[in-house]
Amino acid sequence: MFSWLTNAWRVPELRRRLLFTAMILALYRLGSWIPVPGVDSAQIEEYFNSQDGTILSLLNIFSGGALSQFAVFALGIMPYITASIILQLMTVVIPRLEQLQKEGEAGYAKINQYTRYLTIILAAAQAAGFAFLFQRQGALDANFGRGALIVLTLTAGCALLMWMGELITKRGVGNGISLLIFASILTGLPLGIN
């Protein structure tokens, strides 16, 4: 039944790619447990336990449980997905983007660069929104300096996830961004079965 897996393991190139993908996914899961500096993750988790069944619970699933811990990867890869969707929709509206899309590989590279920039902007906005929400709800004690550190850390975590997804796509097996989303959802699966 699993003979395809043993055959794939015998091919050195495929074995290297599988191990690389597994290593990146393990690093992703590790970053989902490292709390943002200056945050009491127990307070955040207590707030999440009182908010069962809200949109925050859904966002927590897509971050692999990192949002309820307010971990470095709490934003997950969703700002990248949002930026990608926005730019796909903007190609219809903005003629310059439509022209770039028709230029082939060079145009797609430029659109991908714009997607990365928009991801950073969206991640910073989303991080600031979460910090503000948790502070207003009393789950986070933050002054301006600590708030800026939180926003910077979460934005950097999202940028690192974006890079890790691209690494998996280039050197690993499959689409890296999709694998990161799948890994996030898969970690929440045991809790969802109850």
The answer to whether residue 97 scores a pLDDT higher than 90 is no
Q: Are 71 and 41 in contact (CB under 8 A)?
A: yes
pLDDT score at 53:
66
* pTM (2 d.p.): 0.85
Q: Is the dihedral of CA 152, 154, 160, 163 positive or negative?
A: negative
Per residue in 170-194, pLDDT (tens digit) is 998 889 999 998 888 888 666 555 5
For the purposes of burial, counting CB atoms within 10 Å of the CB of 45, is it exposed (0-12), middle (13-18) or buried (19 or more)?
A: middle
Q: Are 80 and 162 in contact (CB under 8 A)?
A: yes
pLDDT-derived band at 126 (thresholds 50, 70, 90) equals very high
Rounded Cα distance between 1 and 115, Å, is 41
Token couple for 13? 């190139």
pLDDT score at 23:
95
Q: Write b or e for each residue in 109-130: b if 16 or more Cβ atoms lie within 10 A of its Cβ, otherwise e.
A: eebeeebeebbbebbbebbbeb
Q: Are 91 and 142 in contact (CB under 8 A)?
A: no
pLDDT score at 26:
93
Distances from the Cα of 75 to the Cαs of 10, 178, 181, in angstroms? 37, 15, 12
Per residue in 37-85, pLDDT (tens digit) is 878 777 877 777 776 667 777 777 777 778 888 889 989 889 999 999 9
